[in-house]
Homo-oligomer: A and B are copies of this chain.
Amino acid sequence: MAGHTRPARGMRDFLPEDTRRREYVARIVEVVYRRYGFEPLETPALENIETLTGKYGEEGNQLIFKVLRRGEHEASGETDLALRYDLTVPLARVVAEYRGTLPRFFKRYQIQPVWRADRPARGRFREFYQCDVDAIGSRSMVVEAEVCSAVTDVLLGLGFAEFDVKINHRRVLSGLLTASGVPESLHATALVALDKLDKIGLEGVERELHDRGVPQGPNGRFLGPWQELLPLWHGTPDRSQANAKSIATLRTILAGDQSALEGVSELESIFKYAAATTAAAHLRFDATLARGLAYYTGAIMEIAVADLAGSLGGGGRYDGLIGMFLGENVPACGFSLGFERILVVMTERKMFPPGLETAAADVMLTLFDDEGIPDTLGLAADLRRAGARVDVYPEPDKLGKQFKYAASRAVRFVTVTGGDERAQGLVTVKDMQSGQQTSVPRPEIARWIAAHIGRGSTPEEAPAPAAGRADV
């Protein structure tokens, strides 16, 4: 009967240390998003299959996990349900289904797993969490400014210090491509090439554009506008100054292109609105930011962390998607944090609070003999009431073995309450870090432990540092 004990292909078991890390990140995200007035939403893992099919293109369709019909229909091989593939289609469904009861400006966050039958690879799983925040119902750039600020607070709360919230605008990008002579039919192709600028440089992008049949621009170069915009950041220590210079340069380059200029004004509003928020120190106009997804219609954003390839999340305005079930346009702006990526980076960089990953308890109580058990469980009750996480070794055993077990569990304090201690009304506590042993009167032990583990003892319960660290 052995075997078959591995998780399914591309899926993961999260043992306690994994789960604690994941919860730590999720809690900080939640606390910050709540401070911005975003509300939690949860939707079912299974959706009617028609809800999902046709929403993710041909390739996406193939990656959807489909559920067999049950009972008499099972043999037919037909499917009627499918596993959630992202959090956006369920949101669109919810917005349509409850439009009568949802607030006019519906702001929700959602942290739930999605499932994709992708070929598993390093860092790519078939079950993974998405962490989305979306504000629905307003075209105001206040929404973009708030989203950028919220995402900034999340990253600061998680302990990231050096990062950019890169920002661009679809209509600005479109205007720049037109200005450089790329016909609209080739904009999508050109964006794909532009997206690689980080990796292959300006010349590489120009070569690729040439290979893809994009005609040369006005001055014999493809990327004239970008060659004007990118140097604005060289040797410009002041971010807001560089952003302002970029806006001015964009206005010159895009003169006469009404749609693109509206995009420039929107970017300018975002910079202006966010000036007194934590986002101001991180926002950075990036003329090369394109974001792959076709559905963005306005501002687009992406997080770039110093010394880290790839992003920790991205988002933007997409006014056409949320209304898919309503048959109308519904303004929306959202951001998706790369939850799994953030976990990998934070683990690699050891950004979790000490003790979070290893210790399941602050104190372990040893058991000396059967007679002592009721007293020891009473002691456990007192310590727990004082806020400590308390493990009780479940059976009387050699003390050495119990201490060894506590050490293997990274528990900081171990108590001994043998017959002698009980007779004298004392509890012996050993600090497993320093090796020091102390005798504490029984009535004082709860206060002693609470003081030594610090208030708000458990890392999981500690108030999320979001607000505090956001000051940094």
Contacts and interface: CB of A to CB of B under 8 A. Distances in A.
A50 interface: yes
Given A13-B94, A77-B77, A105-B394, A70 B36 contact: no
Given A103-B409, A104-B405, A40 B19 contact: yes
Give the interface size bracket for A toward B: 35 or more
A380 B13 CA distance: 40
Contact of A44 (B7, B373, B467): B7
Contact of A39 (B74, B272, B360, B463): B360
Nearest to A43: B13
Contacts of A463: 456, 461
- Count chain B CB atoms within 10 A of each CB in A83, A115, A142, A273 and give the residue with the most: A142
Nearest to A54: B1
A146 to B, nearest CB: 6
Q: How many copies does the complex hold?
A: 2
Nearest to A142: B394
Interface stretch (A196-204, A219-227, A319-327): A319-327
B68 A34 contact: no
A67 B66 contact: yes
A140 B396 CA distance: 9
B273 A394 contact: no
Nearest to A458: B34
A373 B83 CA distance: 42
A42 interface: yes
A46 B325 contact: no
B70 A41 contact: no
Contacts of A30: 460
A74 B107 CA distance: 38
B7 A47 contact: yes
A277 to B, nearest CB: 5
A381 interface: yes
Interface in A61-110: 62-63, 65-68, 70-71, 74-77, 79, 81, 83, 93-94, 96-98, 101-105, 107-108
A274 B93 CA distance: 50
Interface in A349-383: 360-361, 364, 367, 373-375, 377-378, 380-381
Contacts of A216: none
Interface in A157-198: none
Interface in A1-53: 1-8, 11-16, 18-20, 22-23, 30-31, 34-48, 50-51
Interface of A: 1-8, 11-16, 18-20, 22-23, 30-31, 34-48, 50-51, 62-63, 65-68, 70-71, 74-77, 79, 81, 83, 93-94, 96-98, 101-105, 107-108, 113, 115, 117, 126-127, 135, 137-140, 142-143, 145-146, 149, 153, 272-278, 324-327, 360-361, 364, 367, 373-375, 377-378, 380-381, 384-395, 405, 408-409, 456, 458, 460-461, 463-464, 467-468, 470-471
Smallest CB-CB A-B distances: 5 pairs:
A77-B77, A276-B378, A37-B391, A16-B39, A11-B44
21 contacts: A3-B325, A5-B94, A7-B43, A7-B44, A13-B98, A15-B94, A18-B42, A19-B39, A31-B461, A35-B384, A35-B388, A36-B390, A46-B65, A46-B126, A66-B74, A107-B360, A146-B377, A146-B392, A277-B381, A387-B467, A461-B463
